[in-house]
Amino acid sequence: MSLATLDRLRVFPIKSLDGVDVDATRLGDAGGLAGDREFAIVDGEYVNGKRERAIHRVSAAYDLDARTVSLAAPGTDDGAFHLDGDREGIERWLGEFLGYDVSLVAERPGGYPDDTEAAGPTVISTATLRAVASWFDGIDADGMRRRLRANVELGADDPFVEDRLFGSRGEHVAFTVGGTRLEGVNPCQRCVVPSRDPDTGEERPGFRKRFVERRRETLPEWSDGDRFDHPFRVMVNTTVPESARGEPLRVGDEVAVQGTVAIEA
pLDDT computed for residue 70 by the predictor: 98
The one-character DSSP state at 233 is: E
Coil/strand/helix, residue 158: coil
Tens digits of residue pLDDT in 85-107: 999 999 999 999 999 999 999 98
pLDDT computed for residue 218 by the predictor: 95
CB count in 10 Å sphere of residue 23: 9
Instruction: Please state whether the predicted TM-score (pTM) of the whole model is above 0.85.
Output: yes
Average pLDDT over residues 207-223: 95
pLDDT at 137 over 80: yes
Tens digits of residue pLDDT in 169-190: 889 999 999 999 999 999 999 9
Tell the CATH topology of 2-36+112-262.
Answer: M1 Pyruvate Kinase; Domain 3 (2.40.33)
Q: Which of 193, 173, 190, 191 is nearest to 182 (CA)?
A: 173
Spans of all domains in the chain? 2-36+112-262, 40-105
Cβ-proximal residues to 217 (8 Å cutoff; 6+ apart), any chain: none
Q: Is the distance from CB of 19 to CB of 11 less than 8 angstroms?
A: yes
CA distance 38 to 105: 9
CA distance 255 to 46: 33
Cβ-proximal residues to 191 (8 Å cutoff; 6+ apart), any chain: 49, 50
Average pLDDT over residues 10-14: 98
From the number of C-beta atoms within 10 Å of its C-beta (0-12, 13-18, 19+), residue 175 rates as buried
Average pLDDT over residues 44-68: 96
Distances (CA, A) of 235 to 10, 81, 125, 216: 14, 32, 8, 15
